[in-house]
Amino acid sequence: MAHNAEIDVDTLELCLRDGIAGIEHTDPREALGCAPDTADAEVARALVRIVAAQDLAQLGIQSVDPEAARHPSVRPPTEVAADPSFLGRLSTTGDHGLSVERIDDVPTLLAVLRAGSRRQRRAALGRLGERLADRRLLHSDEVRKAIQVISRLRDVDLGHELAQVRAELPGAPGRTARQEREQWKRLAQRTEGEIRAFWDGQSSVDAIHALPGDQRALLLMRVSELSDLVVHHISAIIDGSDGYGPLESRIGLITSLRYARDPRLVPALVSVLEAERGELVAGAARVLGGMDDARSHPALAERFERSFVAEERIALAGALGMHGDLRGLDEVRSSLEEDHPKLPLQALEAMENLGSPESTDLVSKFLDHADVSIAIQAARTCARIGDGRAIDELTDRYNATAVPALRAAIEDALSAIAARMELRGEEAASIDWSEVGNKPAQQKGRRDSLPTISLGWRDYFMGRLWLLLGRVTWAIARFESAAARRDGWAVPLIGIGMAFARREQYALALPAFRRAIEVDRLRIERNPILVRAMAKTFLHRAEQVEREGRDDVARGLVGEVLTLDLRRAPGTVRFELKRKHDVLRRGEQGDVHSAA
């Protein structure tokens, strides 16, 4: 409907303020272009639209301050190169693109559960719970394996989610989980009564502080299911407004909430960031890092920009990394590169969220640390980075140590790395160094000397010779030796990739080509022979995993190679890559029945 342009807007505002019948000589319906029998509700909506449009037209446009003058909490995060692989592009939710909630393939969900980030693992576990709810699938081998994995999983990051999924499982695991839930309910009810008595002045004992450690952990694991009274009491202890708890109790409680996700706790945690220092701030930052709440990231960024305490800054950097903000990466790396790091445990923990494959060597050196807790954290960080180059160091350390906890952490790390390589379509090339001598130590941070260059080329040409003689294992060992002697030398890595590609062992060729791209991408993109072999490796490996029903892995491989400059690759290869990408993307937009 079109209103009468000649009508005074002030008159319409008067109608809106005093009511439709408030103006004696003006019919709002006629002025608004409405029929005489138009309902009052429609007339009122038309009045609001016209008056609001007039006000908006008069507001004008306000200029925004330059980006450099913005508050630290609203500055854009540090730009980093996007990870084009499957896990790098996998979101937790969404109707478009790669998302966990659209994957139906159980083996892929299990791989994400082992190798993904904390948010990806949570989403994968939730999706597995949805798949297991379909009773028609319970007798398939894949679902039985999933039930076995979920029953044995001991990921503390996913404690609450694991308890929820296990409660829906059939058989003994489900019964045990349901019994634990009933135990938690009784504990929560008793604690709530004691807290109510505390605030009513009937008791001087803080119920949370009086709980044994195991019961407090059990209670707080499901903090999102607790009543508002209990959560408000916990918040009061966190921000120190309860008037009772000492500093040690506050620190202990915040540490116990490490993996909590309840948004009701955010205001208290933010107040700690704003007003406290030291260990309290570090603990609150770690909790906020895992919170999917819009208030978390600005508070963390603001505190990081004004903090000068090393312990705080490292914890804040790791928490920001969980939100995709890597502004603290250089500082954490620098602290680990020192001869005697002051906070190695905290820095390694932060690298779980900040690290990339180029950080593998930096983290791996701590596997031999005399402090077992630091070595265990290094193994966990290697698991989260997921680079196949850490397999040798992890295996050597596993064989050398007799500490059960470290061996268990290394087993988990190897499993996570294997899962990530599976999602990337890779396999790890195993080398028996006892046949060809000791692997040279990696040389980092200094210019290559003439003897080093000579030894590198010697190993490279020896590798070429062994290839001619058909001794592939020895040739690969020589190429790896050459790559280890000189930092940033892509030639032997290209030799490994080409050797496997010519033998159609594409899963083994992929890691070598990826390492070469990381070191010297332009060398491959500008060489027609190399770019052809590399592109065909990605294409053929995508076809292999697609035939196995792993469509999402195939989609990830094709999408990854298409981010490179393929202008020198054969036109047929580029065409097939683009075609397969379009086909897989169309399958992605529909129902995903066979996702990688």
Residue 591 has pLDDT above 50, yes or no: no
Per the CB < 8 A criterion, the answer to whether 314 and 343 are in contact is: yes
Statement to judge: residues 53 and 143 lie in one domain: no
Per the CB < 8 A criterion, the answer to whether 355 and 379 are in contact is: no
Q: Using pLDDT thresholds of 50, 70 and 90, give the confidence band for residue 79.
A: low
Using the 3D structure, point to which of 107, 132, 158 is the last residue of a domain.
158
Taking only the tens place, the pLDDT of each residue in 528-562 is 899 989 999 998 898 888 888 888 888 888 888 88
pLDDT in the model for residue 193:
92
> What would the mean pLDDT of 405-411 be, rounded to a whole number?
85
Statement to judge: residues 79 and 113 lie in one domain: yes
Share of the chain above pLDDT 90, in %: 12
Per the CB < 8 A criterion, the answer to whether 431 and 477 are in contact is: yes
Taking only the tens place, the pLDDT of each residue in 294-310 is 899 999 999 998 888 88
- The lowest-confidence range among 72-76, 272-276, 428-432, 562-566 is 72-76
In angstroms, how far is CA 281 from the centroid of its own chain? 23
250 occurs within a structural domain: no
Q: Using pLDDT thresholds of 50, 70 and 90, give the confidence band for residue 441.
A: low
156-165 burial, b at 16+ Cβ within 10 Å, e below that, comes to eebbbbbbbb
> What would the mean pLDDT of 225-241 be, rounded to a whole number?
88
> What would the mean pLDDT of 441-468 be, rounded to a whole number?
79
Quote the longest CA-to-CA distance of the chain: 104
Residue 595 has pLDDT above 50, yes or no: no
Statement to judge: residues 544 and 585 lie in one domain: yes
Per the CB < 8 A criterion, the answer to whether 406 and 379 are in contact is: yes
Using the 3D structure, point to which of 123, 158, 193 is the last residue of a domain.
158
pLDDT in the model for residue 495:
92
- The lowest-confidence range among 70-84, 178-192, 515-529, 534-548 is 70-84
Statement to judge: residues 51 and 93 lie in one domain: no
Q: Using pLDDT thresholds of 50, 70 and 90, give the confidence band for residue 404.
A: confident
> What would the mean pLDDT of 568-578 be, rounded to a whole number?
80
Q: Using pLDDT thresholds of 50, 70 and 90, give the confidence band for residue 596.
A: very low
The CB density around residue 372, as the number of other CB atoms within 10 Å, is 13
Per the CB < 8 A criterion, the answer to whether 512 and 493 are in contact is: yes
Q: Which long-range contacts (CB under 8 A, 24 or more apart) does 462-467 make?
A: 463/492, 463/495, 464/495, 467/495, 467/499
Statement to judge: residues 494 and 575 lie in one domain: yes
51 occurs within a structural domain: yes
105 occurs within a structural domain: yes
Distance, in Å, from the CA atom of 557 to the CA atom of 542, rounded to the nearest integer, reads 6
Taking only the tens place, the pLDDT of each residue in 131-153 is 887 777 667 788 888 888 888 88
Show Cβ contacts of residue 574 under 8 Å, excluding neighbours closer than 6 positions.
Answer: 535, 566
308 occurs within a structural domain: no
106 occurs within a structural domain: yes
Residue 5 has pLDDT above 60, yes or no: no
> What would the mean pLDDT of 208-213 be, rounded to a whole number?
80
Domain that holds residue 81: 69-158
pLDDT in the model for residue 430:
64
pTM of the model: 0.71
Task: Output the average pLDDT for the chain.
Answer: 81
pLDDT in the model for residue 83:
65
Distance, in Å, from the CA atom of 593 to the CA atom of 227, rounded to the nearest integer, reads 39
Top-confidence residue, 224 or 30: 224
Taking only the tens place, the pLDDT of each residue in 29-69 is 777 777 877 887 787 888 788 878 777 776 665 554 554 44
Question: In this structure, what CATH number is given to the domain that contains residue 528?
Answer: 1.25.40
Top-confidence residue, 420 or 437: 420
> What would the mean pLDDT of 460-477 be, rounded to a whole number?
90
> What would the mean pLDDT of 163-192 be, rounded to a whole number?
88
Statement to judge: residues 79 and 104 lie in one domain: yes
- Number of helices (H), then strands (E), in the chain: 31, 0
> What would the mean pLDDT of 436-462 be, rounded to a whole number?
74
Statement to judge: residues 55 and 74 lie in one domain: no
Residue 85 has pLDDT above 80, yes or no: no
508 occurs within a structural domain: yes
Statement to judge: residues 93 and 120 lie in one domain: yes
Residue 593 has pLDDT above 50, yes or no: no
Statement to judge: residues 35 and 54 lie in one domain: yes
Using the 3D structure, point to which of 96, 131, 158 is the last residue of a domain.
158
Distance, in Å, from the CA atom of 309 to the CA atom of 317, rounded to the nearest integer, reads 12
Question: Measured between alpha carbons, how far is residue 283 from residues 250, 286, 351, 398 in Å?
Answer: 10, 5, 16, 31
Of 328, 386, 317, 393, the closest CA to residue 357 belongs to: 386
Token pair of 286 as six digits: 């770690």
503 occurs within a structural domain: yes
Statement to judge: residues 29 and 105 lie in one domain: no
Per the CB < 8 A criterion, the answer to whether 362 and 333 are in contact is: yes
Top-confidence residue, 119 or 589: 119
- The lowest-confidence range among 269-273, 278-282, 306-310, 572-576 is 572-576
Statement to judge: residues 509 and 570 lie in one domain: yes
570 occurs within a structural domain: yes
Residue 358 has pLDDT above 60, yes or no: yes
Number of domains in the chain: 3
Statement to judge: residues 80 and 52 lie in one domain: no
Taking only the tens place, the pLDDT of each residue in 478-518 is 998 888 888 788 899 999 999 999 988 999 999 999 989 88
